[in-house]
Structure 1
């Protein structure tokens, strides 16, 4: 039974009724509470818990999905959703749900443990072991550590991480064969080796009941030499080697006279082919740009010898400035030190999985200096967040070089001379003015470790200084978007996002408002119009809209006709864009509410009728949980059919498209268009006519 987060007298009364086994009265009060905006989410949770207890899995699933939309910060809902799916023997979907939910709530230990167990059922042993080992230094809860170690073969193991805030190294070693003894840690730095007992109590090992000892904390002087941490047998600890670089001093004041030379900073870790393609595209662009630049490649202790050799060859030929880190610094620490190298130069971040074209830097420079208060400029890309093309905030395939060249040329032709203002910048290709760096400071390497989210954090700090971020729709930079992170990305992304939400509580709303207004849209549309004679594989998949798709002349595949009122739910397939259709559904909802055991009506799209329909307590607004399709979501909700109440459907009737997308048979009043679409005759044994207004 969930503990209510909103402690009202009503929920106390409901708890007492349930304890007294007066379920009818308790459910009546819960249905009333569902119609209240303040208590609706909590009431749905209570109803779902009762449904699970009674093994009414379809109903529980439906109510939990609705509760999740109202209480998005409640990770326990996903554990209950998984239970509802398992009650229906949908074990694979339950596992899929938990794995995706972990990305949304990475700091919840119970959900994390359940997600790892789900991964153990789905992943290969090799993949599971690899990902657990990468994640071990980030574990923060004893229950989670115990779950992870149980999924690995028994062996001595340890993990270490750098506490950037305090400047020391912490970690633990667990030896399952001698859990009561303090294991030995071997520390090697600058060719000097030291053996130390890991004899400190560690909260993870102790809290998990694994060992009273095994923890260590090292206070070492900062320096360039990597620190190797191993077990006595030479096995490296997860996270080793580490490096404690000298603390970065604050950014100095911006000099009055800035160098015309720009630093193009390219961080590199993996991906020889993509990295070399990126670097050669920048090298080749020298002939097309009047803006002078140097290419600074940050080789961050790459595990690929062929890549390192190729970079060294480019450096020896004078094409790049190669900076090789003795141990992995991570994106943020590496970029900070690269940006500090020349405090009189503007900088450009460039991911190693991008390609540039023509006079790209001249155009970036022009945009960045089009006004005095500009902090950064982001170009168009197939994978560029707010500057993504053809649709914003989506990843699209990286164009081939010839298509990329045409896209860049057409972007210049389509440009009207305007630079739209962006809510935040995107770091795949980012021009940053030195004046903005001096005012805003470097990236946060204390709280944001590794990479991801650092561009958003810096963007929001720059905005707080009164600076602007621009988009440059006359530049197209191709971006693969898959080489910068390995399997650990999902946890780092989610944890950094959680930190940013706490740090900037209004930022997400601002970002969504920006997406809705989409100031880059006119630029995309002009480019899209120029693309029509060309076939570059970048047409917008959103055209035509679903609502403009005519009813299909082919019947929707369906099996035996279900009895509409026998299922748990029916899908509202109408768009409710006319008062007449809205009134019919409202009347039907109220009629069904008077018949106990009637199916819920499921609404999957926003509509002005939503509030009135939900007030009937018979209509559920349903969103698919993370990782699941709407079709799977409706199946687990016991949805048997899609229903239209339109007696005279138009040519752009949406209902058949909706039914087909969800894999449901369509029922509708008899009409020539309904028959043409393969809809089955609607025959509900209740009055469907709306009450007089």
Structure 2
């Protein structure tokens, strides 16, 4: 499985880490940070009045790292005031607010900064994680608690963290999804955008919880973009500085401030929008399909001249197939075949018959299927690919067939035709959408 390349230059990035207790988590965070592509960036440890043991240990542990600066407050200033003071210490164009209970893979900062550099109107970008509300993969909600899932600590183990990062590099392919709000556990901001709106509201949210939503709302109101990068992963341990009871209190207080400032309907509507994001839901489904085999996901490249390719072995060792550009692939529920015959159009060409899906990839394109080569996996991959390039549907020979379910006589909705039986499609595939689609008769 390939891994993302490190950015050649991160000189314009500073990293601010708020610290309050949680010594072991902070040590692990900074250690993983120093071993990552951002290891040479200016790092500001903003200690918000922890006891002397925390301060002394941090100072001695990172004494040999000249780019690590420890700033300790005599008394606790509160989370939002602390990070605002940290941002004030920086003089780079980009600044990352990074929680002290995060763990970093080898490459994470480079892709985030590169995305910011690509668009002057992009003010903030964040990665995916195991526990970051709407930025979580593979599960959004814990079915037992009904709360946001922490996904069993996915990525806590260093080897697993690199595996997930590499998997997302294959599945995300640089896609940046526009969102109305970002989770504050790890976000890289454009410093000039923060300055333009006056930075964090330290008065309304002195101790945190709500300050990132407030910031995002004000950035969007000024015409800036925010996005989640789908091929970047950072592990989050959650609530290591504040206990769960304290977190609930601060969260409720922040919600009241947000409602008073922007009205009671805005934040719930933004949360609803995040939960309904088709690209975010799709990447969750792709990651889940790759991880549900119970084995370490592996990616096997399939060349255009590969001929017939079987489905994964019974033990599930082959979980991802990377179809290379320059070929046409016939994909069915039992396998796929490849021939070196790319389509004439600049994007991906798609056609369908009752027994198979036919996909032609130009030389510059690629398509990664998860869980082998069934048709529903291919459609998910095509949905993801349509975020970046056009899908040219040149033939769709699927008979209408009977409706999948009886419709209400008073309903204006058209009957839904089932997928061909030979495709072996799961029910949730009906929720797929495609961004750039060109239909031809």
TM-score (norm 1): 0.39
| Aligned residue among 185, 190, 196 for 1:439 | 196
Q: Is the 8 A contact 2:128 2:136 kept in 1?
A: yes
Structure 1 match to 2:286: 526
Task: Give deviations 1:89-120, integer Å, cap 9, x for gaps.
Answer: xxxxxxxxxxxxxxxxxxxxxxxxxxxxxxxx
SS at match of 2:279: coil
| Aligned residue among 357, 374, 392 for 2:105 | 357
Structure 2 match to 1:23: none
Structure 1 match to 2:320: none
Distance 1:309 1:535, change over 3 A: farther
SS at match of 2:71: strand
Q: Is the 8 A contact 1:374 1:467 kept in 2?
A: yes
Q: Are residue 386 (structure 1) and residue 134 (structure 2) matched?
A: yes
Structure 1 match to 2:224: 467
Q: Are residue 398 (structure 1) and residue 156 (structure 2) matched?
A: no
After TM superposition, the structure 1 = structure 2 runs for residues 405-484 of structure 1, keeping only pairs within 5 Å, are 405-484=162-241
Shift of 1:423: 1.6
Structure 2 residue runs of 5 or longer lacking an equivalent are 1-9, 142-147, 298-404, 413-425, 427-441
Task: Give deviations 1:115-135, integer Å, cap 9, x for gaps.
Answer: xxxxxxxxxxxxxxxxxxxxx
- Tell me: higher relative CO, structure 1 or 2? Use CA pairs within 8 A at least 6 residues apart: 2
After TM superposition, the structure 1 = structure 2 runs for residues 183-198 of structure 1, keeping only pairs within 5 Å, are none
Task: Give deviations 1:196-231, integer Å, cap 9, x for gaps.
Answer: xxxxxxxxxxxxxxxxxxxxxxxxxxxxxxxxxxxx
Q: Is the 8 A contact 1:425 1:469 kept in 2?
A: yes
Structure 1 match to 2:32: 281
Structure 2 match to 1:118: none
- How many matched pairs? 285
Q: Are residue 493 (structure 1) and residue 251 (structure 2) matched?
A: yes
Structure 1 match to 2:380: none
User: Larger % of strand: which?
Assistant: 2
Shift of 1:358: 1.1
Task: Give deviations 1:24-64, integer Å, cap 9, x for gaps.
Answer: xxxxxxxxxxxxxxxxxxxxxxxxxxxxxxxxxxxxxxxxx
Structure 1 residue runs of 5 or longer lacking an equivalent are 1-258, 538-576, 584-606, 609-651, 653-693
State how far apart, in whole Å, the 1-side matches of 2:407 and 2:219 are: 47
Structure 1 match to 2:365: none
Shift of 1:293: 1.0
Shift of 1:532: 4.5
State how far apart, in whole Å, the 1-side matches of 2:69 and 2:21 are: 18
Q: Is the 8 A contact 1:330 1:451 kept in 2?
A: yes
Task: Give deviations 1:351-377, integer Å, cap 9, x for gaps.
Answer: 111000112111111122221211101
Q: Are residue 509 (structure 1) and residue 263 (structure 2) matched?
A: no
After TM superposition, the structure 1 = structure 2 runs for residues 47-66 of structure 1, keeping only pairs within 5 Å, are none
User: Larger % of helix: which?
Assistant: 1
State how far apart, in whole Å, the 1-side matches of 2:239 and 2:52 are: 17
SS at match of 1:520: helix
Shift of 1:522: 2.4
SS at match of 1:263: strand
After TM superposition, the structure 1 = structure 2 runs for residues 253-402 of structure 1, keeping only pairs within 5 Å, are 260-285=11-36, 288=37, 292-303=40-51, 305=53, 307-318=54-65, 320-392=68-140, 394-396=148-150, 397-399=152-154, 400-402=157-159
SS at match of 2:256: helix
Task: Give deviations 1:628-665, integer Å, cap 9, x for gaps.
Answer: xxxxxxxxxxxxxxxxxxxxxxxx9xxxxxxxxxxxxx
Task: Give deviations 1:337-356, integer Å, cap 9, x for gaps.
Answer: 11112344311011111000
State how far apart, in whole Å, the 2-side matches of 1:301 and 1:420 are: 37
Distance 1:410 1:456, change over 3 A: same
State how far apart, in whole Å, the 1-side matches of 2:197 and 2:290 are: 39
State how far apart, in whole Å, the 2-side matches of 1:493 and 1:316 are: 36
Structure 2 match to 1:67: none
Shift of 1:579: 6.4
Q: Is the 8 A contact 2:33 2:103 kept in 1?
A: yes
TM-score (norm 2): 0.60
Shift of 1:383: 0.8
Q: Is the 8 A contact 2:55 2:72 kept in 1?
A: no
Shift of 1:524: 2.5
Shift of 1:261: 3.6
Distance 1:314 1:517, change over 3 A: same
State how far apart, in whole Å, the 2-side matches of 1:451 and 1:362 are: 27
